[in-house]
Structure formats: structure tokens, C-alpha cells
Amino acid sequence: MKSVGLVVGAGVAGIQAAIRLADQGFTVYLVEKNPSVGGRVAQLSKTYPELDCASHTWTPRMIEVSKHPNIKLLTYSEVKDVRRQGDIFKVKILKKPRFVDENKCTGCGVCAQHCPVEIANDFDERIGVRNAIYVPFPNAVPQAYTIDREHCLKCGLCQNVCMSKAVDFQQRPETIEVEAGAIIVASGFNPFDPRKHDEYNFSRYDNVVTGLTLERLLSLSGPTGGHVLRLSDGKIPKRIAFIQCVSPGNPKSGKIYCSEVCCMYATKQAELLKELIPDADINIYYAEPLVNDERFEEYYKKARTEYGIKYSKARLTEVVEKPTHNLLIRTVSESGKPIEHEADMVVLSTGLVPSASDFVDALRLKLDDGGFFEAVDSDSNSIQTSTEGVFVAGAAEGPKDIAKSVKQADAAALKASAYLRKLGEAKTTPIRRS
């Protein structure tokens, strides 16, 4: 058990950490609460700064964790309890019933074609639809369907048409107990829900959308096949305004922490929109200074000069909808002058908040002011949590982009493997890779 690692969360950080640790010969349990691995990156269209297709880059890595001989992948599963016994963590994992046998399901999708139920797909930020039996997105890993029992009518049509006899309404939740020497927490983030402070009327106006909703509209495999349109009437938006720093107040100091990624993802989205709608007029409204990262200086410059994207420093007062469903954005300029600007669509660049986890108390992990896991390293790394043997990687430790998450996951896997070796007797079988 001293050669076993547990990775919580199979987004970019969890996938990277699991592969790195498994490649060194350790057995890795990779636990993901959703039906598929991939995390937030699976929802993205293209990633900055190179505008790489997120799916092209990450699908092979997602498949790798499902095929790796040293990785035991547990999807649709949640860590419920962790107890320390000497050097070892005893972990209780709840495997939720899919009502479909993962080993029998071939992912053919005939079941979903016959399912009469149609509901909004959370994966598509509720713009797209899915059936009660579903895979959240086409490249899901594993390619196994899941029945959403909340909406299922138990009509049994899926069971009747399944050639592999994979549908199993008798499945029950299963508790799996594993022992691990080290844990890497990569539980990621959630986008901030703008309904929490509905100052921009997100919940009232269809054409006020979040960055992640726009991401689904831009995605070629998304609900509109990459065609960006207004949710009120299907019109192609020509005047698009981004509002930056739609983030939670820091609960302690009352200050808003910087989510670090929004300036860049808004810029990326603005560029993608410009490529899609060449005559679009795009304004990015910001009140706080743009994230100053030397990696991206050229990127902002290119957005301004080559794409003609406008950045306006202004304090936003309100967003109001006109009867045409166009939106009036009222701001106050730096000199105190009120300015009104009309847009067809408003995109809220929502920040990152921690993803809630059941096992925080059990592990006695310290959280920072924003609710992210606090790192207590003595060196420049930020991966050691307040509990020995527990490491953190990716946005679980604080808002960061994909490149930084991957780097941190590499470091966490390295530290975890060193820790496991120190625990001793780690009989490992390194994997040879071409």
C-alpha cells in the first residue's frame, strides 16, 4: 500500500499527475466524480495562447488514463472518507450506479436514440440537450452511458434495444475501500455563478451569458456546432461586450481575488469571435488592471492591433435589456463621465471558485481565504498541503490556467513519488515508454 497513490479529480491536473505517478511504477487510483474524465477542459473550444483545439490536445491523455496498466480509473465515483492509519490513508470511495454496465457498454448510443426523455445538458451549460441515458459529450472517457435516474421514466426502451445487455436497473451504490500512501488532490474549480450577485441580470436576460456558455457556443462539437448566436432569438451577435472580473468577493478581506485566467480567456474568445464574425465590434470592459503576465503581453497586443479588439477601462454601473433584447451597458469612465453602449450580447468573464469536496474535513486540510487548498511548502512549489502525504495540484490550489496546472501536476507527482519511496519498500515496476 506504500506504493499506491490516490489522485482525486480527473481534469487536466489529475490526469497529468496520475500519468506521471503511474509511469514511475506506482499504482494510482484516479477518482472522478463525473461520468467522464476531462474536467473543465473538455468543455473548452480552443485553448490560449496557441488556439489549440482542446479536444485534440486532451482526448489522447483522457484515453491514456483509461488504458494505463498502473492506473485504476474510478469514474462517477466520489471520495467520501479518508482516515489515516500510521503511514497509510484508508479511503472510502462511493461508486455511484450508472445503471449501465461499464464493461459491457460499447458506447454505440442506440439507447439514447430511443430514450424519449430530453433535458438540458449541464455539460453544454444547459444550451444543448441530452437524454435520460447519456454520455455528457461525444469524446467522453470511458465511452459508457449513464442513466440519470432523476429524469428516467423507467420505460425500459433502452434496455430493450441494447445489444450488449448493458442496461442494469438493479445497480446499487458501491463503497470501495482502498489504501494509499500518498494523495494528490486535483479537485479543480467551478466557474463563479453570476446569479450569486446578479448585478448584471444574468438570470433575467438571455443574451447575458457566461464565458463558459460562450465556450460551448464556440465549440465545434457544442450544441450549435460552433455557430455563435443569441439565445433570445438566434441572431448572430455583431456587437459583443465582455465584462471582466465577475468574481466572488473574498470572504475575509472583502476584496476580490484575481482568477488569473479571465483576461486571457476573454481575449482568446474575442479573437475566435472575430474570426467567426469578421465585422464584429468587440469591447472588453475591465475595472481592475489586466493580468500582467509576460507570457501574454504579445497576445494582448495582437488582439488590439491585428484583431481590432477594444479594451475599455471603466467602472460598470448596470446592464439593462431593451425590448429588442439588445443590452445597454452603462459605465463610468476614468474621468467620471457616464457612458452608455449598446451590445447584442454580453459575456460575463466569470472567475474561478473552489469545487466543493466532501473529504476536506477528513483530511484536515487548511484552506486559504478564497477557499482553495492552502499549500505550505518551504520551497517555491505550492503543492504540499497542511497534511503530510497529501499534495495539491491545479486549480484546487488556486486559480490558474492549463499550462500552470500541468506544471504543478508534474511537480506534485514528483513530490508524491519521492514521498512514497521514502515510506519505503516501494516495489515498483517502471513502465517502458517509447
Partner 1 sequence: MIGGLSEKKKLAKKTDAAIEAFKTERLRWVLGISQVGPKVDEQKYKAVSSKIMKDEIDRQMIIGEIKEKGPRTIKELSEATKLNTKEVLRHIIALRKIGTISEAGEKDGGYLYKASE
String of contacts with partner 1 for each residue 156-195, x by CB under 8 A: xx--------------------------------------
| Cell numbers at 300, concatenated | 494582448
Q: What is the DSSP string of 322-374?
A: -TTS-EEEEEE-TTS-EEEEEESEEEEEE-EEEPP-TTHHHHT--B-TTSSBP
Minimum Å gap between C-beta 231 and partner 1 is 7
Give residue 418's identity as a one-letter amino acid code.
A
Whole-number Å distance between alpha carbons of 147 and 164:
16
DSSP run (H or E) holding 74: strand 71-74
- Candidates 66, 139, 190, 224; binder of partner 1 (CB under 8 A) is 224
Q: How many residues bind partner 1 (CB under 8 A)?
A: 28
The answer to whether 373 touches 365, Cβ cutoff 8 Å, is yes
220 binds partner 1 (CB under 8 A): no
- Candidates 233, 297, 318, 361; binder of partner 1 (CB under 8 A) is 233
153 binds partner 1 (CB under 8 A): yes
- Candidates 60, 69, 173, 225; binder of partner 1 (CB under 8 A) is 225
Minimum Å gap between C-beta 227 and partner 1 is 6
Scanning 10-18, 23-31, 219-227, 297-305 for contacts with partner 1 by CB under 8 A, the matching segment is: 219-227
Pick 22 or 240: Cβ nearer partner 1: 240
- Candidates 238, 301, 364, 366; binder of partner 1 (CB under 8 A) is 238
DSSP run (H or E) holding 57: helix 54-67
Pick 135 or 383: Cβ nearer partner 1: 135
Whole-number Å distance between alpha carbons of 276 and 89:
51
Pick 190 or 224: Cβ nearer partner 1: 224
Please choose, from the candidates 93, 87, 88, the residue with its C-alpha nearest in 3D space to the C-alpha of residue 29: 93
Pick 227 or 301: Cβ nearer partner 1: 227
At a CB cut-off of 8 Å and minimum separation 6, what does 372 contact? 354, 395, 396, 397, 398, 399
Scanning 139-147, 235-243, 328-336, 412-420 for contacts with partner 1 by CB under 8 A, the matching segment is: 235-243
Burial state string for 351-362 with b = 16 or more CB within 10 A and e = fewer than 16:
bbbbbebebbeb
Pick 159 or 385: Cβ nearer partner 1: 159
- Sites for partner 1 among residues 119-138 (CB under 8 A): 127-129
Distances (CA, A) of 397 to 58, 203, 224, 394: 21, 29, 34, 6
Whole-number Å distance between alpha carbons of 20 and 234:
45
Pick 228 or 303: Cβ nearer partner 1: 228
Burial state string for 393-427 with b = 16 or more CB within 10 A and e = fewer than 16:
bbbbbbbbbbebbbebbbbbbbbbbebbbebeebe
| Cell numbers at 258, concatenated | 484575481
113 binds partner 1 (CB under 8 A): yes
Report the DSSP beta bridge partners of residue 96.
none
229 binds partner 1 (CB under 8 A): yes
- Candidates 235, 315, 330, 341; binder of partner 1 (CB under 8 A) is 235
275 binds partner 1 (CB under 8 A): no
227 binds partner 1 (CB under 8 A): yes
Distances (CA, A) of 54 to 36, 42, 59, 110: 16, 7, 8, 27
String of contacts with partner 1 for each residue 292-311, x by CB under 8 A: --------------------
Dihedral sign (CA 249, 252, 255, 257): negative
- Candidates 66, 171, 201, 232; binder of partner 1 (CB under 8 A) is 232
114 binds partner 1 (CB under 8 A): yes
Scanning 46-54, 77-85, 147-155, 367-375 for contacts with partner 1 by CB under 8 A, the matching segment is: 147-155
Pick 88 or 231: Cβ nearer partner 1: 231
Quick one: how far is CA 324 from the chain centroid?
A: 34
Q: Which residues bind partner 1 (CB under 8 A)?
A: 113-114, 116-118, 127-129, 151-157, 206, 223-225, 227, 229, 231-236, 238
